[in-house]
Each structure stands twice: as structure tokens, then as C-alpha cells.
Amino acid sequence: MTVRSFLVLCAVTVVVVIAAGVTVVRDHRSDAAAGAAEKLFPALLEEADTLAVLTLRNHEKTLTIQKHEDGWSLGERDDYPVRADAVRDLVLKLGGLERLEAKTNRFEHYPRLGVEDVEIEGARSTEVELLNDDGGVVARLLVGKLAFGVGDRGALYVRNPEENQAWLVRGHLAPIVEAGEWVEPEIIDIPQANVRSVRIVHPDGETVLATKTTVKDEHFTLDGLSGTPSPATAKAIDALAAVLSELRLDNLKKADDVPFPEGATTSVTVLTFDGLTLDVDMTQHEGRDWIRVGAKPDPDANASGNDIAHSAGEIEHRTMGWAYQVSAFAITPWKKRRSDLLSPHSGDEIPGH
């Protein structure tokens, strides 16, 4: 064989090897792409209309969301209404999960991915189960840790609790087993401009009263404060009337499950210009701020009786029997005493203080 023939043979060999390598890589990528496109629950979205029960569990608690004729409700909260968009979002995210890679199938390695059974002590997984009208399982999954560095669509580890194999899947799913994440978050919305007066009675009997004479008044007047308040004091007084504006809950419980002791409960009465009376009790329970809300027409207001009675009835129907956990920031103005409302170094004084 001549040197030239040998070099030609080598060149041909290199080309063949490279071509084979490219073919292998292409086939591998094709397999990966095919696997990535495989839905974890391919029939879920088609069966969405048949869903009747959605259950969320972790090691500490369970939430059962059930479908009724007029929507979804939370079983553990006496069928308190659940947001339909929250249910829809979970179903869409479950239906969009795609298999990327098989991971461990060994029990002792599950905690690394957060896909251990929820009954295990210290488990960090969340189990999601969807049942149809006939009680059949449409989807069931242990949701584990998020996986990072896997594309821009997000990824996480999951496992079917009836199987040993854990999976890395593409998608985003972070179910939260907290009632506040599923119910309508807004407790009440009374615009500050509609508030006529706010009376706060602290547990020791000290009373703070802020009022307006007309809707056109620029600021509220603090009972017992003489003269014109400083801008800082005026702002603090006005804030008393803003608490019920888009007030949202962090959690909720049956009212009987949250004590409102007489010696540790602040009572607030809010009157509106359109004739509504809101009664709010405020206390702390297990280190959190809780309120309960009642509503009724103001008998002394000049307002359309039917409209106000309807508004009061709607609020009363929705909030009666419930206690709401709210953020400390949201109700901070109502915790202030009269002396707290006076800005330092402003010269604002209440007679007798």
C-alpha cells in the first residue's frame, strides 16, 4: 500500500467515524426530545371536566377541595368557597408536566429529591390527588424539590406514590397546603373615602375616635385633639380609616377555634357614609393577628335601606362564623393609642395629657 493510499484510507475512516458519531448524537437527542415531550398525565386536561375532589397532603395537614353545583369549596373549613382559578391553575400545571429523566428508584434516596411518602416523619413532599365523579384516580403525585439549571421553563422532582421510580420533570408546580392559598383572599373592601368614623376600644377601655363630618373633608378629626394637627399626625389619623380597604386574609379558621378573650380583644366600629356599620374584633392567637367581622345597617344614617341591608347581609353571610388571620402590618393603625398618633416634636397635644 502506498503512503498516499494509506492517507486516503485514514481520511475515509475518520469521515465514517465522525458520521457515525453524529448519527448517534442525533439519535440520542431525538430520544431525549421524545422523552421530554411525554406528558406525565397525558389525559388529564381532557378529563378535567370530570374532576370532583382535589386533595393536598403533607406530613402535617390535609386539604380537601370538593366540587359542588356552584363551585369548589374547602372541606376542612366547612365548605368555605375556593377560588376556581386556583383549582384551574393547579390542573393546568399538572397537565403540563413532561418527563425529562428517570432518577432514583431507591427508597433511601427519596429524601434527597423530596419525594418520600408524606407519612414519613420529617417528610418534605406534598402529595396531590385528583379524583373524578366516580371516585377514580385521575392523577396522583408526590411533588418534591425544584431542580435548577434545567432550561427556562423550570423543573422539579416527582414520584407516583404507588411506584418506586422518581422522575425529573419539566414544568412548574408548588402546591401549598394552606387554606389561605385557595380561598378568596379579600375579606372586605371599604374604601377610605367612604368611611365616616372609626371607633377603637382597646382592652383596657381606652378609646380612639376619628371622624369626618362630610365626604369632602380632607382629613379625619381625632376626638379630644385641639387645634390643627401636624401633617404627620393627620396622616396617622387618616390611616385608621384605610384598614378595611382591600383587607386580605393570610389564613382562616372557624370562629369557635380562635378565642377572643375580653381582656385581650380590641373592638373596632366603622361607620360609612352610605349607612353601613362594621364591627371588627381583633386579638392575637398563637402569635398571629386574628379578626372577626360583622356588618349591619346604620340606623342613624340617611341611606337607601334596601341597598345597605343587602350589602350588610352579604358581608354577614360571608364572614359569620369565621375568624381571619391577617398580617400585622395591615392592622397596625388600629393597635395605636391616642398618644401613638401624635407625631413626636410636633406640639400636638390632647387636653389632660
* Digit-coded pLDDT (tens) for 133-171: 999 999 999 999 999 877 777 999 999 999 999 999 999
Least confident window among 209-218, 252-261, 281-290, 299-308: 299-308
* Digit-coded pLDDT (tens) for 99-144: 999 999 999 999 999 999 999 999 999 999 999 999 999 999 999 9
Contact 236, 254 (CB under 8 A): no
Report CA dihedral (61, 67, 68, 69) to the nearest 10 degrees: 160
Sheet holding 266-272, edge to edge: 221-222, 207-211, 195-201, 266-272, 276-285, 288-297, 322-326, 251-254
DSSP E strand stretches across 48-125: 51-57, 62-68, 71-74, 80-82, 98-102
Please, which residues have CB within 8 angstroms of residue 256's CB and are 6 or more apart in sequence?
A: 321
DSSP E strand stretches across 189-265: 195-201, 207-211, 221-222, 247-248, 251-254
> What is the mean pLDDT of the segment spanning 312-332?
94
Going from N- to C-terminal start, the domains of the chain cover 45-181, 186-341
Give backbone dihedrals phi and psi of 276, rounded to 5 degrees, phi first.
-105, 140
**Per-residue confidence band for 4, with pLDDT thresholds at 50, 70 and 90:** very low
How far apart CA 144 and CA 113 sit, in angstroms, is 6
* Model pLDDT, residue 82: 94
198-201: Cβ within 8 A, 24+ apart = 198/240, 198/241, 198/268, 198/269, 198/270, 199/268, 199/269, 199/270, 200/240, 200/266, 200/267, 200/268, 200/334, 201/266, 201/267, 201/268
* Digit-coded pLDDT (tens) for 162-208: 999 999 999 999 999 998 899 989 999 999 999 999 999 999 999 99
- Higher per-residue pLDDT: 31 or 314: 314
* Model pLDDT, residue 302: 57
